[in-house]
């Protein structure tokens, strides 16, 4: 039975190749890999992502600035395949809600070469994932209109990752473009109150203290805390934050009227709810509601990876290379949750199956 299902899976994706631009450590690509697609390459400016991407996705990592990539380069990367899927997530910091009113800065242009490559190469299917705020900008509307003018049918939606089994309150803009027809995203697989929770994701891990590393899992490590911050986290109940502290423990910014905007700072997660959106600083207690629900520390790298739905077997660091808490948390915060990547891939796979049935 399993072999039959595997054959059907390979038949649907047979001949289709995927290239992931701005691939990072491979969260989006791994979703396609899990759904049976052949991921041929990932492209990223950060060469330190090479080991994780290649090790887990059986694909080549190309250290390259996307802005310098030509359509001939990309055609060579795809190889002889005539059934191509181009996916990517341009760095989203410029499109955060804090920069919506600003004009295009030097990072915003990364979406333009992506658009240019699509127009020149004309891959059959394109998908882009980013923050919802991107849709408010002219550059996004240019992207959509340009692809429509070049024969692509566009669909877009804001996805609540909780509705697809990601134990995290993470909303993302997902765009599909296809020359074969319209792609609809898969229907939600989880509904409240059946959302995956923090406990579902990390509840079975060994307890560790701040500054400790699990003996059984080198990625299960937590940053150390100063005595004052340790006192602060001990004064924070599950699901609570700095407002639960004795006033003497509060930071000076919390005592100002504007401090109310930072209610999640030094907060703890709740066991029976999804985690908040993980950021590049998700393993620091002072950067958001990233405190462990009951242990007196911020979440570990392993816990962040699990909340981003990376498999336990996913390797982020080459054996023998020191693990950098700061670097890996950055990669995890920037990553597309693997489960969401899989939903995107599954939506495309259904689209391919429907197209093949009509052909």
Residues 234-263: pLDDT tens digits?
Answer: 999 999 999 999 989 988 776 666 656 667
Q: What is the DSSP letter of 294?
A: S
Predicted local confidence at residue 325, as pLDDT: 95
pLDDT per position as a tens digit, 275-295: 999 999 999 998 899 999 999
Nearest 5 degrees, angle CA 78-CA 82-CA 84?
55
Predicted local confidence at residue 77, as pLDDT: 97
Predicted local confidence at residue 264, as pLDDT: 76
Task: Tell me whether strands 60-63 and 83-88 are parallel, antiparallel or unpaired.
Answer: unpaired
What pTM did the predictor assign?
A: 0.92
Question: Percent of the chain having pLDDT more than 90?
Answer: 81
Give residue 151's region: left, alpha or beta (phi > 0; psi -120 to 50): left
Beta bridge partners, 174, equal 129, 157
Q: Are 116 and 49 in contact (CB under 8 A)?
A: no
Predicted local confidence at residue 8, as pLDDT: 56
pLDDT over 80 at 268, yes or no: yes
Residue-averaged pLDDT of the chain: 91
User: How large is the average pLDDT for residues 306-329?
Assistant: 97
Q: In which band, very low, low, confident or very high, does the pLDDT at 94 lie, cut at 50, 70 and 90? A: very low
Least confident among 197-201, 238-242, 355-359: 355-359
Predicted local confidence at residue 82, as pLDDT: 85
Predicted local confidence at residue 265, as pLDDT: 84
Beta bridge partners, 19, equal 41, 86
C-alpha span between 329 and 300 (Å, rounded): 9
When comparing pLDDT for 101 and 265, which is higher? Answer: 265
Predicted local confidence at residue 98, as pLDDT: 43
C-alpha span between 30 and 22 (Å, rounded): 14
Q: Are 329 and 301 in contact (CB under 8 A)?
A: yes
Predicted local confidence at residue 306, as pLDDT: 98
Which residues have C-beta within 8 Å of that of residue 333, sequence separation ≥ 6? 278, 279, 280, 281, 282, 304
pLDDT over 80 at 359, yes or no: no
pLDDT per position as a tens digit, 136-156: 889 999 999 999 999 999 999
Cis peptide leading into 193, omega within 30 of 0?
yes
pLDDT over 90 at 4, yes or no: no
pLDDT per position as a tens digit, 219-234: 999 999 999 999 999 9
DSSP secondary structure letters along 320-341: TSPP-HHHHHHHHHHSPPHHHH
Predicted local confidence at residue 99, as pLDDT: 44
Beta strand extents in the chain (DSSP E only): 16-21, 38-44, 60-63, 83-88, 125-130, 153-160, 171-178
Predicted local confidence at residue 347, as pLDDT: 98
- For residue 283, indicate whether it is catalytic: no
Predicted local confidence at residue 96, as pLDDT: 47
pLDDT over 70 at 10, yes or no: no
Domains in the chain with CATH codes: 16-189+337-358 (3.40.50.150), 198-334 (3.90.120.10)
- Phi and psi at residue 263, to the nearest 5°: -65, -25
The active-site residue, picked from 49, 92, 282, 283, is 92
Closest listed residue to residue 340, CA positions, set 85, 32, 113, 79: 32
Predicted local confidence at residue 95, as pLDDT: 44
Q: What is the DSSP letter of 260?
A: G
pLDDT over 80 at 123, yes or no: yes
Q: Are 18 and 39 in contact (CB under 8 A)?
A: yes
């Amino acid at each position: 039975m399993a072999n039959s299902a595997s054959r059907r899976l390979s038949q649907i994706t047979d001949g289709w190749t995927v290239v992931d631009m701005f691939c990072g450590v491979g969260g989006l690509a791994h979703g396609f890999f899990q759904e049976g697609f052949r991921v041929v390459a990932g492209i990223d400016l950060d060469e330190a992502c090479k080991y994780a991407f290649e090790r887990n996705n059986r694909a080549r990592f190309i250290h390259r600035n996307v802005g310098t990539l030509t359509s001939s380069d990309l055609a060579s990367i795809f190889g002889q395949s005539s059934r191509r899927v181009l996916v990517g997530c341009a760095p989203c910091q410029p499109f955060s809600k804090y920069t919506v009113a600003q004009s295009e800065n030097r990072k915003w242009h990364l979406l333009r070469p992506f658009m240019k490559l699509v127009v020149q190469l004309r891959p059959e299917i394109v998908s882009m994932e980013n923050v919802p705020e991107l849709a408010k900008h002219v550059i996004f509307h240019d992207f959509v209109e340009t692809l429509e003018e070049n024969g692509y049918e566009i669909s877009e939606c804001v996805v609540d990752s909780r509705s697809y089994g990601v134990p995290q309150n993470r909303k993302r803009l997902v765009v599909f473009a296809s020359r074969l027809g319209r792609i609809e995203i898969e229907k939600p697989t989880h509904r409240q109150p059946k959302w995956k929770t923090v406990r579902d994701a990390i509840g079975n891990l060994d307890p560790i203290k701040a500054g400790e590393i699990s003996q059984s899992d080198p990625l299960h490590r937590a940053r150390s805390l100063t005595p004052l911050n340790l006192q602060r986290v001990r004064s924070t109940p599950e699901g609570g934050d700095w407002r639960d502290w004795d006033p003497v423990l509060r930071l000076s910014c919390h005592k100002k009227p504007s401090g109310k905007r930072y209610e999640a700072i030094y907060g703890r997660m709740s066991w029976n709810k999804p985690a908040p959106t993980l950021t590049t600083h998700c393993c620091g207690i002072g950067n958001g509601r990233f405190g462990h629900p009951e242990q007196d520390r911020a979440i570990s790298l392993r816990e962040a990876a699990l909340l981003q739905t990376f498999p336990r077997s996913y390797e982020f660091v080459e054996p023998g290379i020191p693990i950098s808490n700061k670097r890996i948390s950055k990669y995890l915060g920037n990553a597309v949750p693997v489960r969401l990547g899989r939903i995107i891939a599954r939506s495309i796979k259904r689209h391919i199956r429907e197209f093949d049935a009509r052909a």
